[in-house]
Amino acid sequence: MAGPDLVAAVRQTAELARRSVLAERRQLLNILPGLVFPLLLAAVYSRQFSRALAMPGFPEVDSFLDFILPACVVQAVSFGATAAGTELALDIENGFFDRLVASPVARFPILVGRLAGASLVAAIKAAVLVAVFLAFGAGVKGGPAAVLVIMAVAALLVLAIGGVGQVLAIRTGSQEAVAATFPLVFVGIFMSSAFFPTALMSGWFRVVAENNPITWVIDPTRRLVIAGWSTGDAIQAMVVPAAIALVTVSLAVRALHRKLGRS
């Protein structure tokens, strides 16, 4: 891609990302559940499961809020992770996608712009949740650097899940089909180490949890919160969702090329 074309593509991506963020801001009711529900769960779990801290093998934490913080961030992100896909499906349904394709807009920004906007919203959600947890007595022993990693993880998870949503949007053109991925993501969170350490699990549930990519993200993120800064944990926490995002976004780009090739 030549210099002028690259500059134009970056501008187009930024403009579509801004459009995505504005759409989220205008529909705050779509954002609030992703903040309120994890906070309610955190309040209930910290009250009901605080005795689990005394179990042999449970990670040493000052409070259950410290343990559950990464899980709540991932849960909050899951609520808006499919936004980029549903927005794309809506644009296909109402004809805006066809106008974009017919315009001088490059193809890549059509996908990445929406994903970038959704990722920015996810990072802001993560920052808000961390601030609320800190206000109620939780601690992040990894310091400000760990908080930045948590925000980056939230953004990368949206890219990973949003890429799947965009593939479905391109192939089906249906918001309902994209939204159907949310229950799968939600179940995946509960089938991980999000709310309980895998070391204290048993049977098939432990096997599933240990091999769940969400566990591979939550465990190193949790160690940054409860144990302190570790470059290795920070890298693992970001590399896993980044690798998944690379695959899912690549599949979305491929699906877009196929769709445009048939049209």
Helix/strand/coil (H/E/C) assignment for every residue in the chain: CCHHHHHHHHHHHHHHHHHHHHHHHHCHHHHHHHHHHHHHHHHHHHHHCHHHHHCCCCCCCCCHHHHHHHHHHHHHHHHHCCHHHHHHHHHHHHCHHHHHHHCCCCHHHHHHHHHHHHHHHHHHHHHHHHHHHHHCCCCCCCHHHHHHHHHHHHHHHHHHHHHHHHHHHHHHCCHHHHHCHHHHHHHHHHCCCCCCCHHHCCHHHHHHHHCCHHHHHHHHHHHHHHCCCCHHHHHHHHHHHHHHHHHHHHHHHHHHHHHHHHC
Can you tell me the distance from the alpha carbon of 201 to that of 207, in angstroms, rounded to the nearest whole number?
Answer: 9
Check if the beta carbon of residue 228 is closer than 8 Å to that of residue 85.
Answer: no
**pLDDT given at position 24:** 65
Can you tell me the distance from the alpha carbon of 263 to that of 46, in angstroms, rounded to the nearest whole number?
Answer: 53
**pLDDT given at position 263:** 54
* Rg of the chain in Å (alpha carbons): 19
The HSE-up count of residue 213 (CA atoms within 13 Å, CB side) is 13
Quick: pLDDT tens for 169-195. Answer: 888 878 888 887 878 888 899 899 988
Can you tell me the distance from the alpha carbon of 161 to that of 34, in angstroms, rounded to the nearest whole number?
Answer: 15
**pLDDT given at position 152:** 96
**pLDDT given at position 110:** 76
Q: Which residues of the chain have pLDDT under 70?
A: 1-6, 8-9, 20, 23-31, 104-107, 262-263
Task: Tell me which residue of 84, 80, 48, 86 sits closest to 64, measured CA to CA.
Answer: 48
Task: Tell me which residue of 235, 196, 222 sits closest to 70, measured CA to CA.
Answer: 222
Check if the beta carbon of residue 37 is closer than 8 Å to that of residue 45.
Answer: no
Buried b (16+ CB within 10 A) or exposed e, 17-33: beebbebbeeeeebbee
**pLDDT given at position 79:** 77
Domain residues of the chain, as ranges? 3-262
**pLDDT given at position 91:** 78
pTM of the model: 0.87
**pLDDT given at position 4:** 56
**pLDDT given at position 27:** 64
